[in-house]
Amino acid sequence: MTLPPAHKRYLCLLALSLCCSTAFARSALAQTGIGLQTCEDLKITQKQYGALTVETAACLNPTKTFRPKGTLRNVHLLATFPAVPTGAKITFLVTENDAEGEDVQYVDYWASQYHTTAYAQLTINKPGKYFVRMVNTLNRSQVWATADFTVGEDTVGARAVGNTAAGQGKVSICKEIDDDWKCVGQSDRWAANAPFNVLFENPTQVGVDFIGIVFYRRGADGKDAEFVNEYQQNIGMDSRRYATVTDEMKLPAGTYSVYVIAWGKRELLEHRGNLTEYFAKTILTVK
Protein backbone atom coordinates (compact mmCIF):
# COMPACT_ATOMS: atom_id res chain seq x y z
CA MET A 1 0.00 0.00 0.00
CA THR A 2 1.37 3.39 -1.01
CA LEU A 3 0.69 6.33 1.32
CA PRO A 4 0.04 9.81 0.01
CA PRO A 5 2.95 12.25 0.54
CA ALA A 6 1.03 14.14 3.24
CA HIS A 7 0.56 10.95 5.29
CA LYS A 8 4.23 10.08 4.90
CA ARG A 9 5.25 13.49 6.21
CA TYR A 10 2.86 13.10 9.17
CA LEU A 11 4.30 9.69 10.16
CA CYS A 12 7.86 10.98 9.85
CA LEU A 13 7.08 13.98 12.04
CA LEU A 14 5.34 11.75 14.62
CA ALA A 15 8.34 9.39 14.81
CA LEU A 16 10.73 12.32 15.06
CA SER A 17 8.61 13.87 17.81
CA LEU A 18 8.62 10.67 19.89
CA CYS A 19 12.36 10.24 19.41
CA CYS A 20 13.13 13.80 20.43
CA SER A 21 10.80 13.59 23.43
CA THR A 22 12.66 10.52 24.73
CA ALA A 23 16.04 12.12 24.14
CA PHE A 24 14.92 15.30 25.88
CA ALA A 25 13.78 13.34 28.93
CA ARG A 26 17.26 11.83 29.18
CA SER A 27 19.25 15.00 28.66
CA ALA A 28 17.06 17.87 29.84
CA LEU A 29 18.90 18.27 33.13
CA ALA A 30 22.25 18.00 31.40
CA GLN A 31 21.35 21.01 29.27
CA THR A 32 20.50 23.26 32.20
CA GLY A 33 22.49 24.60 35.11
CA ILE A 34 21.94 22.66 38.34
CA GLY A 35 23.38 22.81 41.84
CA LEU A 36 24.35 20.00 44.21
CA GLN A 37 24.94 20.82 47.89
CA THR A 38 25.72 18.94 51.07
CA CYS A 39 23.85 20.26 54.11
CA GLU A 40 23.59 19.78 57.87
CA ASP A 41 19.81 19.46 57.46
CA LEU A 42 16.96 20.16 55.06
CA LYS A 43 13.72 22.07 55.33
CA ILE A 44 11.07 20.32 53.25
CA THR A 45 7.77 21.87 52.19
CA GLN A 46 4.93 20.37 50.18
CA LYS A 47 2.60 21.70 47.51
CA GLN A 48 -0.33 19.96 45.90
CA TYR A 49 -0.80 19.76 42.11
CA GLY A 50 -4.07 17.91 41.71
CA ALA A 51 -3.45 14.43 43.13
CA LEU A 52 0.34 14.91 43.03
CA THR A 53 2.21 16.05 46.14
CA VAL A 54 5.46 17.82 45.28
CA GLU A 55 8.19 18.30 47.88
CA THR A 56 10.61 21.21 47.72
CA ALA A 57 13.73 21.09 49.88
CA ALA A 58 15.90 23.94 51.14
CA CYS A 59 19.42 23.61 52.53
CA LEU A 60 19.97 24.43 56.20
CA ASN A 61 23.62 25.22 56.92
CA PRO A 62 25.61 24.12 53.85
CA THR A 63 28.70 22.16 54.89
CA LYS A 64 31.20 19.62 53.62
CA THR A 65 32.06 18.22 57.05
CA PHE A 66 29.77 15.90 59.01
CA ARG A 67 29.95 13.90 62.22
CA PRO A 68 28.46 10.49 63.03
CA LYS A 69 25.00 10.55 64.61
CA GLY A 70 24.33 6.92 65.41
CA THR A 71 21.17 5.75 63.65
CA LEU A 72 20.12 9.30 62.71
CA ARG A 73 20.58 10.76 59.25
CA ASN A 74 23.67 12.93 59.32
CA VAL A 75 24.39 13.68 55.63
CA HIS A 76 21.85 15.58 53.55
CA LEU A 77 22.17 16.03 49.77
CA LEU A 78 20.25 18.67 47.83
CA ALA A 79 20.04 19.17 44.07
CA THR A 80 18.37 22.25 42.59
CA PHE A 81 17.36 22.70 38.95
CA PRO A 82 14.78 24.40 36.70
CA ALA A 83 11.58 22.39 36.26
CA VAL A 84 11.89 19.77 33.51
CA PRO A 85 8.71 19.51 31.35
CA THR A 86 9.15 15.76 30.85
CA GLY A 87 10.22 15.02 34.43
CA ALA A 88 13.42 13.15 35.26
CA LYS A 89 14.66 10.06 37.09
CA ILE A 90 17.61 10.97 39.31
CA THR A 91 20.02 8.80 41.30
CA PHE A 92 22.45 10.01 43.94
CA LEU A 93 25.53 7.73 43.95
CA VAL A 94 27.85 7.90 46.98
CA THR A 95 31.30 6.30 46.87
CA GLU A 96 34.39 6.45 49.06
CA ASN A 97 37.10 8.99 48.14
CA ASP A 98 36.21 9.51 44.45
CA ALA A 99 34.09 8.23 41.56
CA GLU A 100 36.19 5.04 41.37
CA GLY A 101 35.91 4.32 45.10
CA GLU A 102 33.92 1.62 46.85
CA ASP A 103 30.14 1.98 46.61
CA VAL A 104 28.55 3.25 49.81
CA GLN A 105 24.93 3.98 49.05
CA TYR A 106 22.58 5.15 46.32
CA VAL A 107 19.18 6.85 46.42
CA ASP A 108 16.73 7.08 43.50
CA TYR A 109 14.50 10.12 43.14
CA TRP A 110 11.73 10.82 40.64
CA ALA A 111 11.19 14.46 39.72
CA SER A 112 7.93 15.46 38.07
CA GLN A 113 7.50 18.44 35.77
CA TYR A 114 6.77 20.51 38.90
CA HIS A 115 9.91 19.61 40.87
CA THR A 116 12.80 22.04 41.17
CA THR A 117 14.68 20.12 43.87
CA ALA A 118 15.68 16.54 44.62
CA TYR A 119 17.20 15.33 47.87
CA ALA A 120 18.65 12.38 49.77
CA GLN A 121 19.17 11.96 53.51
CA LEU A 122 21.82 9.42 54.54
CA THR A 123 23.33 7.79 57.62
CA ILE A 124 27.09 7.47 57.12
CA ASN A 125 29.10 6.96 60.30
CA LYS A 126 32.38 5.62 58.93
CA PRO A 127 35.02 8.38 59.08
CA GLY A 128 36.53 9.29 55.72
CA LYS A 129 36.15 11.19 52.46
CA TYR A 130 33.16 10.63 50.17
CA PHE A 131 32.17 11.55 46.63
CA VAL A 132 28.60 11.95 45.38
CA ARG A 133 27.34 11.99 41.81
CA MET A 134 23.90 13.04 40.66
CA VAL A 135 23.23 10.88 37.61
CA ASN A 136 20.52 9.82 35.18
CA THR A 137 18.86 6.73 36.67
CA LEU A 138 18.36 5.27 33.18
CA ASN A 139 21.98 5.90 32.19
CA ARG A 140 24.31 6.22 35.15
CA SER A 141 27.21 7.24 32.94
CA GLN A 142 25.39 10.53 32.40
CA VAL A 143 26.54 12.67 35.34
CA TRP A 144 24.62 15.86 35.98
CA ALA A 145 26.51 17.16 39.04
CA THR A 146 29.08 16.12 41.66
CA ALA A 147 30.05 17.05 45.21
CA ASP A 148 32.31 15.76 47.96
CA PHE A 149 32.21 15.67 51.75
CA THR A 150 33.98 14.30 54.81
CA VAL A 151 32.69 12.38 57.84
CA GLY A 152 34.77 12.94 60.99
CA GLU A 153 35.55 10.71 63.94
CA ASP A 154 32.81 9.66 66.34
CA THR A 155 33.02 11.61 69.61
CA VAL A 156 29.91 10.17 71.27
CA GLY A 157 30.68 6.45 71.52
CA ALA A 158 28.00 3.91 72.40
CA ARG A 159 24.45 5.24 72.06
CA ALA A 160 21.27 4.28 73.85
CA VAL A 161 19.17 5.29 70.85
CA GLY A 162 19.60 7.63 67.89
CA ASN A 163 22.43 10.02 68.75
CA THR A 164 21.89 9.87 72.54
CA ALA A 165 24.96 8.72 74.45
CA ALA A 166 24.50 5.55 76.47
CA GLY A 167 24.21 5.44 80.25
CA GLN A 168 22.61 8.82 80.93
CA GLY A 169 19.57 7.38 82.72
CA LYS A 170 19.12 5.77 86.13
CA VAL A 171 17.53 2.43 87.04
CA SER A 172 16.56 1.63 90.64
CA ILE A 173 15.36 -1.54 92.35
CA CYS A 174 12.43 -0.75 94.65
CA LYS A 175 9.88 -2.40 96.87
CA GLU A 176 7.33 -0.15 95.19
CA ILE A 177 7.07 3.19 93.37
CA ASP A 178 4.64 5.77 94.76
CA ASP A 179 2.46 8.23 92.85
CA ASP A 180 5.22 10.87 92.93
CA TRP A 181 7.71 8.56 91.20
CA LYS A 182 9.57 7.95 94.45
CA CYS A 183 11.40 4.63 94.79
CA VAL A 184 10.21 3.20 98.10
CA GLY A 185 12.60 0.73 99.73
CA GLN A 186 15.33 1.27 97.14
CA SER A 187 18.35 -1.01 97.46
CA ASP A 188 21.07 -2.66 95.39
CA ARG A 189 20.81 -5.74 97.63
CA TRP A 190 17.74 -7.94 97.63
CA ALA A 191 16.47 -11.13 99.25
CA ALA A 192 16.39 -14.23 97.04
CA ASN A 193 13.03 -14.85 95.35
CA ALA A 194 11.50 -11.75 96.97
CA PRO A 195 9.42 -9.61 94.56
CA PHE A 196 10.67 -6.19 93.52
CA ASN A 197 9.85 -3.41 91.06
CA VAL A 198 11.99 -1.34 88.74
CA LEU A 199 12.03 2.45 88.34
CA PHE A 200 13.67 3.92 85.24
CA GLU A 201 14.37 7.65 84.98
CA ASN A 202 15.93 9.39 81.99
CA PRO A 203 17.04 13.03 81.72
CA THR A 204 15.30 13.44 78.34
CA GLN A 205 12.44 11.87 76.40
CA VAL A 206 13.46 8.35 75.41
CA GLY A 207 12.35 8.67 71.78
CA VAL A 208 11.11 5.05 71.51
CA ASP A 209 7.76 3.44 72.23
CA PHE A 210 9.14 0.30 73.85
CA ILE A 211 11.96 -0.29 76.30
CA GLY A 212 13.38 -3.54 77.59
CA ILE A 213 14.39 -4.38 81.16
CA VAL A 214 17.09 -7.04 80.79
CA PHE A 215 18.74 -9.22 83.44
CA TYR A 216 22.08 -11.06 83.18
CA ARG A 217 23.75 -13.10 85.88
CA ARG A 218 27.33 -11.94 86.39
CA GLY A 219 30.30 -14.29 86.66
CA ALA A 220 33.15 -14.22 89.19
CA ASP A 221 35.07 -11.91 86.85
CA GLY A 222 32.34 -9.28 87.07
CA LYS A 223 31.20 -9.77 83.47
CA ASP A 224 27.80 -10.93 82.26
CA ALA A 225 27.84 -14.72 82.05
CA GLU A 226 24.25 -15.90 81.66
CA PHE A 227 21.09 -14.40 80.21
CA VAL A 228 18.21 -14.54 82.69
CA ASN A 229 15.21 -12.68 81.28
CA GLU A 230 13.96 -9.59 79.51
CA TYR A 231 10.70 -7.67 79.85
CA GLN A 232 9.18 -5.51 77.13
CA GLN A 233 7.53 -2.34 78.45
CA ASN A 234 5.48 0.28 76.57
CA ILE A 235 6.87 3.62 77.74
CA GLY A 236 5.86 5.99 74.90
CA MET A 237 8.29 8.12 72.89
CA ASP A 238 7.71 11.32 74.88
CA SER A 239 8.19 9.77 78.34
CA ARG A 240 11.21 10.10 80.61
CA ARG A 241 10.19 7.65 83.35
CA TYR A 242 8.76 4.18 83.69
CA ALA A 243 7.86 2.05 86.72
CA THR A 244 6.76 -1.56 87.05
CA VAL A 245 3.93 -2.22 89.52
CA THR A 246 3.26 -5.95 89.30
CA ASP A 247 5.68 -7.47 91.85
CA GLU A 248 6.31 -10.21 89.29
CA MET A 249 10.08 -9.80 89.16
CA LYS A 250 12.05 -12.21 91.39
CA LEU A 251 15.57 -13.57 91.22
CA PRO A 252 17.48 -16.42 92.88
CA ALA A 253 20.71 -15.72 94.71
CA GLY A 254 23.47 -14.22 92.58
CA THR A 255 24.84 -10.96 91.23
CA TYR A 256 23.05 -9.43 88.25
CA SER A 257 23.44 -6.71 85.66
CA VAL A 258 20.14 -4.88 85.15
CA TYR A 259 19.84 -2.90 81.92
CA VAL A 260 17.17 -0.63 80.51
CA ILE A 261 17.48 -0.53 76.71
CA ALA A 262 15.54 0.48 73.63
CA TRP A 263 13.60 -2.68 72.76
CA GLY A 264 15.01 -2.61 69.23
CA LYS A 265 18.53 -2.94 70.70
CA ARG A 266 17.87 -6.29 72.39
CA GLU A 267 19.97 -9.31 71.49
CA LEU A 268 18.05 -11.65 69.21
CA LEU A 269 20.17 -14.62 68.11
CA GLU A 270 22.69 -14.82 70.92
CA HIS A 271 22.58 -13.40 74.42
CA ARG A 272 26.17 -12.46 75.21
CA GLY A 273 25.46 -9.64 77.63
CA ASN A 274 27.93 -6.92 78.59
CA LEU A 275 25.70 -4.47 76.75
CA THR A 276 27.00 -1.04 75.85
CA GLU A 277 23.99 0.60 74.16
CA TYR A 278 21.66 1.17 77.08
CA PHE A 279 19.70 3.98 78.72
CA ALA A 280 20.62 2.87 82.22
CA LYS A 281 22.37 0.07 84.11
CA THR A 282 22.75 -1.06 87.72
CA ILE A 283 24.24 -4.01 89.58
CA LEU A 284 21.94 -5.99 91.88
CA THR A 285 23.17 -8.47 94.50
CA VAL A 286 20.61 -11.09 95.55
CA LYS A 287 21.17 -13.24 98.64
The domain segmentation of the chain, as residue ranges, is 34-151, 159-286
pTM: 0.76
Class of domain 34-151: mainly beta
SS3 state of residue 7? helix
Residues 6 or more apart whose CB falls under 8 angstroms from that of 30 comprise: 136, 142, 144
Tens-of-pLDDT digits for all 287 residues of the chain?
444 544 444 334 334 333 444 444 445 555 567 899 999 999 999 999 999 999 999 999 999 999 999 999 999 999 999 999 999 999 999 999 999 999 999 999 999 999 999 999 999 999 999 999 999 999 999 999 999 999 999 999 999 999 999 999 999 999 999 999 999 999 999 999 999 999 999 999 999 999 999 999 999 999 999 999 999 999 999 999 999 998 789 999 999 999 999 999 999 999 999 999 999 999 999 99
SS3 state of residue 195? coil
Dihedral Cα 265, 267, 272, 278, nearest 10 deg: 20
- Same CATH topology for 34-151 and 159-286: the answer is yes
d(CA 117, CA 43) in angstroms, rounded, equals: 12
| CATH assignment, 159-286 | 2.60.40
d(CA 129, CA 264) in angstroms, rounded, equals: 30
Instruction: Establish how many alpha carbons lie within 13 A of residue 238's alpha carbon, considering only the half-sphere containing its beta carbon.
Output: 0
